[in-house]
Structure 1
Amino acid sequence: MRRLAAEALGSLLLAALVVGSGIAAQRLSPGQVGLQLVENAAATAAGLYAIILMVGPVSGAHFNPVVTLVDAAFGGLSWRDAAAYLPAQVAGCVGGAILANLMFDGPAVSISTHHRASSAHLLAEVVATAGLILLIFSLVRSGRGERAPAAVGAYIGAAYWFTSSTSFANPAISVGRMFSDTFAGIAPASVPAFAAVQLAGGAVGYGLVRLFYPSTPAGPAQAAEVLLPHPSAAAPTNGNGAAPVHPSRGVS
């Protein structure tokens, strides 16, 4: 339950961060779309770094069904636990969008009318998601997992600009952003296509990780140790009740 609560809270904060900074940018820089995107991207990049550090040691800081599914495919998370993570992530992102609306004195729910599912946007989502998966899993499988929080924030901030879709790269955040008819919103009709190509991007990223990093530095036996510690009740402790942190594990 601690891990699910951490995923839900982290996802809520992520959606509140993306949507809230989008609303603030829209209000502070009216009519200046480029400046609005700079403000939204900078806030998201910095805030994501902080949120990963905040709850990463508890749940792995996935906040993203694609990351969770790839983690399970590598053996770092059981499929049963992955199935529990997904609704927590979606519910958290929906709650975060609603919270952002309320913090800026808007209606709790306003369904977005921003249609995004063009062929260019869908291709951009494949690229954005594949790159995110390759980044996260390659860092840990090459012994650099401690760099993941900063690297993920930097990648998402950059992908706001180098992808035409502004890099959602996350089915849960795509669902959450339906509920805010603001700068960061997405129309419900666009979400199924976005989610489908994000999953496809995750599969591409998984294949690239397997190609470039077939095992971790510790050898094939540690290849499943892909991200954060996934603590369990049976995990050994270090004498004071805390589970020891494996040196090959980082954050997502």
Structure 2
Amino acid sequence: MSLPLRRAVAEFVGTAFLVVAVVGSGIMASRLSPADPGLALLENSLATGAALVALIVALQPISASFNPVVTLVERALGVIGTMTAVSLVAAQILGGLLGTVLANLMFGLDAVSASGHERNGPGLWLGEVIATLGLLLVVFGTVRSGRADRVAFAVGGYIAGAYWFTSSTSFANPAVTIARTLTDTFAGIAPASAPGFILAQLAGGALGFLLVRLLYPSIATRAAAAADREVLL
């Protein structure tokens, strides 16, 4: 199997498991703590953060972004090529959709059920901008400072925390946002609310790109070389 295909498969599988963790733990939390939304959110955030650590550790040697915004910034920084970025984003979106279907089925729900959980308003959109900006700073700051072996723990910890300090509970991921429109459960988001979240995430991604370039101005030679190799594969 070629490297580009292996990367796409890794992103598909990783994003699917990530969404299973987000949606599945949300359903479980709402059933275990139906009268305490704060406790349910704690359970949801801890499960998501822990799953992220495990998935990134397992798949990082191949590809472990699980997030179109991260992939687009990698492309903008010259770390990956255009065709690779397109294939990874497609794999992330499809993997996320599968993850929601699997989570719904595991808990005896319809495979697909449009969410009725509306999430709108400037405060929530600002929360998504901040959540995504912070995620990119954590990801690329950790990698570019030569500590790529710690990125799984940094990202898992950040997302678990951002569930609590952002008004939007930190979706910070267009693929996960799209996937969460298909579950009418604790973790769901109404389809009509998704575009606002995705636009805010893309805005956060653009700001994150600028901040990464400001704080870490030089692109690593090995990253540029990796991008060159992708053109030949």
- TM bucket by the smaller chain? over 0.9
Look up the match of 1:29: 33
Structure 1 unaligned spans of 5+: 236-252
Query: CA offsets per residue over residues 18-73 of structure 1, 9 Å max, x none?
Result: 000000000001121000000000000111100111212112x0111000000011
For 1:214-229, what aligned pairs fall within 5 Å after superposition? 214-215=217-218, 221-222=221-222, 224=224
| 1:67 aligned onto 2:70 | yes
Shift of 1:225: 7.5
Cα separation, partners in 2 of 1:31 and 1:178, compared to 1, 3 Å: same
Look up the match of 1:11: 15
How many percent identity over aligned positions?
A: 53
Identify the match of residue 57 of structure 2 among 53, 59, 68: 53
Task: Tell me if structure 2 keeps the 8 A contact 1:215–1:222.
Answer: no
Helix, strand or coil at the partner of 2:151: helix
Look up the match of 1:40: 44
Shift of 1:188: 0.2
Query: CA offsets per residue over residues 178-210 of structure 1, 9 Å max, x none?
Result: 010000000000111111110010000011111
Look up the match of 2:209: 206
Cα separation, partners in 2 of 1:83 and 1:113, compared to 1, 3 Å: same
Task: Kindly tell me the number of residue pairs found equivalent between the two proteins.
Answer: 229
Task: Tell me if structure 1 keeps the 8 A contact 2:181–2:191.
Answer: yes
**Length-normalised TM-score, structure 1:** 0.86
Cα separation, partners in 2 of 1:107 and 1:184, compared to 1, 3 Å: same
Task: Tell me if structure 1 keeps the 8 A contact 2:80–2:230.
Answer: no
Helix, strand or coil at the partner of 2:137: helix
Task: Tell me if structure 1 keeps the 8 A contact 2:81–2:231.
Answer: no
Helix, strand or coil at the partner of 1:47: helix
Q: Distance in 1 between matches of 2:186 and 2:225?
A: 38
Aligned alpha-carbon RMSD (Å):
1.9
Cα separation, partners in 2 of 1:231 and 1:147, compared to 1, 3 Å: farther
Cα separation, partners in 2 of 1:42 and 1:231, compared to 1, 3 Å: farther
Structure 2 unaligned spans of 5+: none
Amino acid at match of 1:144: R
Q: Could you say which structure has the higher helix fraction?
A: 2
For 1:124-203, what aligned pairs fall within 5 Å after superposition? 124-203=127-206
Cα separation, partners in 2 of 1:231 and 1:150, compared to 1, 3 Å: farther
Query: CA offsets per residue over residues 137-188 of structure 1, 9 Å max, x none?
Result: 1111111111100000000000000001000000000000001000000000
Q: Distance in 2 between matches of 1:199 and 1:103?
A: 32
Look up the match of 1:238: none
Cα separation, partners in 2 of 1:6 and 1:27, compared to 1, 3 Å: same
Q: Distance in 2 between matches of 1:225 and 1:171?
A: 28
